[in-house]
Structure formats: structure tokens, C-alpha cells
Structure 1
Amino acid sequence: MYRLCQPVPTPGVWQCLAASHRPDRSVQFRSERNRALGRSHNSRSETWLTRPRESIEALVLLGDLDALLRKAGELHGHFCPYLALGVRAAYVALRELGVVQNLGLEEIVATVETDGCFSDGIQMVAGCTFANNALVFTDLGKAAVTLARRRGVAVRVAVRGEYTEGFSQRFPQAVTLLERIV
């Protein structure tokens, strides 16, 4: 059953049209995201053209790695360990650099050291893509990324080698998924 909810004049408060139902969690999350960004409930309509990554930025600001992984899965087409590692690496790098917003104007450049699933997690969370000239691929065969700001500050996040060595024993379902994909 769908619940129809509409905003009322007080920001962050939702009124349900079906009085016996509370608003669903996605509507509550939206108001929490708006509060975290310091904006009113209707400002989304004014910014979607100038800030298309606004919802992703809010998830990064809130530290919602589960929602970021779901978004990355929409881009990548499946969920796998290296996608999750890419999402987490990009989140950690953005947090360490203090980046709240990436407008895609080469303010932030990511250098990934592997192709594949890991780099899709980086692209989704950091907003650095090949098309906006902010993603550089250097084939070093490591699950690592370096995020650099234009002003010269950079951070490198790498998955420790010992973590990936026992991957197939710890996550046998990931090996099965990888065999199906490749």
C-alpha cells in the first residue's frame, strides 16, 4: 500500500494524507537530509539543475554508506565486494579532505589504480568520472585511489593486501558472483 505524504509549512514535518498511517521512512530520510544540508523542504526544486549530485552529497554528509552502496549498485549493475570497497574508499577520502560538494569542475581529481568494480564505487561517491575529466586510471593492479584537490592537498586510500588475500575463503559467495560476471 502506498502512503501519500505532503510537506506542511514547517520544514522537516510531514503530514500524511491517510490519517491512520505515518509517513514512510524514505520521506523521513528526505527531511533529515534537508536538515543536514540546512535547507527548507521545498528548495530541492530550485537546485536540481545546478546540483544534480545533491542527494549523493547528502548521503556522504550523513555517512550513510548503505544508501551510497545502493546508489553505486544502480550504476554498476550488481553488488560485489570491490564495489563496496570503492564506495568506502571514496567516502573515507572525501571525509579526510573535508569535501562536502563536488561540482564536477575538476576541483577534485581521482586517480584509481585498478579498473572494474572498485572504480565504479569511486565514481558514484566522489563524482569523479572520465567524462568530467576528473578520473584518471593508472593500472597498478591495486585497489587504491588518490583523491586530490586542485589546491594541492591529496589523500590516498588503499585496501590492505592481507585483506584481499583471504577474500575467497571469507567471502565464497563473492567468488561465485565474480565467476558469473567474468
Structure 2
Amino acid sequence: MNLQPLLEKSSRDHSHLCPRQILGVRMGLAGMAALGFDAPPDKKRLLVIVESDGCFADGVIAATNCTVGHRTLRVEDYGKTERCN
């Protein structure tokens, strides 16, 4: 799957493009590839759980077509973020 259309979709939905959206799109695509799904899947056969909301989740939504409204995306915010030093 070409990355550019998904980044444009994420940018349009989020009103700007930022690094966390790019990471979300790439991770969404990598996860689907690892599971053998087409990108983006056309049926509700995928449940995505993200632990980070906002920009990252918007990128995952653009790549997977999973949304909270379709009950195919769950946001589990534990109030923590991983930091790389």
C-alpha cells in the first residue's frame, strides 16, 4: 500500500500532519501485514487496541479503517507513555 494517500487521509481528518500520525500509519500497516490483512481491510475482521490517543490513533485509523464508532478500535489510555532516552 502506498503511504502517501494514507498520510493525506490522516492529515485531512486530523487537520494537520505530525510525526505521531506517520508512526501510527506505519504501525497500522505493519500490524496488518504481519497478520496477513489487506491494507486497509474492507470488512470488520480486525480489532485494534491502541494505548495512545490523539495523533497516533488518527494515523492507525487512517491505515486500518478501524474506528471507535464501528467498535473495531479501542483506546486503552493507561496514562503512561514510553520514553526513549
Q: TM-score, normalised by structure 1?
A: 0.42
Of residues 50, 56, 71, the one that matches 1:112 is 50
In structure 1, give the amino acid aligned to 2:67: T
Letter in 1 for 2:17: F
Kindly provide the amino acid, as one letter, of the partner of residue 81 in structure 1. Answer: P
- Identical aligned residues as a percent: 32
Match of 2:21 among 57, 75, 83: 83
Partner deviation per Cα, 1:135-162 (whole Å, 9 max, x = no partner): 111113347xxxxxxxxxxxxxxxxx42
2:34 aligned with 1:96, yes or no? yes
Aligned to 2:66: 128
Q: 1:74 Cα shift?
A: 1.0
Q: Unaligned 5+ residue runs, structure 2?
A: none
Q: How many residues align?
A: 82
**Contact 1:111–1:136, Cα closer than 8 Å, also in 2:** yes
Structure (1/2) with the larger strand percentage: 1
CA distance in 1 between counterparts of 2:59 and 2:67 reads 11
AA in 1 matched with 2:68: F
Bigger relative contact order (CA 8 A; separation at least 6): 2
CA RMSD of aligned residues (A): 1.6
Counterpart contact for 1:87–1:122, Cα < 8 Å: yes
**What one-letter code is carried by the residue in structure 1 that aligns with 2:35?**
L
- Aligned equivalents of 1:97, 1:142: Cα separation in 2: 25
Cα displacement string for residues 29-63 of structure 1 (whole angstroms, at most 9, x for unaligned residues): xxxxxxxxxxxxxxxxxxxxxxxxxxxxxxxxxx3
Q: Distance in 1 between matches of 2:35 and 2:24?
A: 16
State the TM-score, normalized to the length of structure 2.
Answer: 0.85
Deviations 1:81-104 (A, max 9, x none): 10111111101111111101232x
Indicate how the Cα distance of structure 1 residues 82 and 95 shifts in structure 2: closer, same or farther if over 3 A, else same: same
User: Which stretches in structure 1 are left out of the alignment for 5+ residues?
Assistant: 1-62, 144-160, 166-182
The code of the aligned residue for 2:60 comes to I
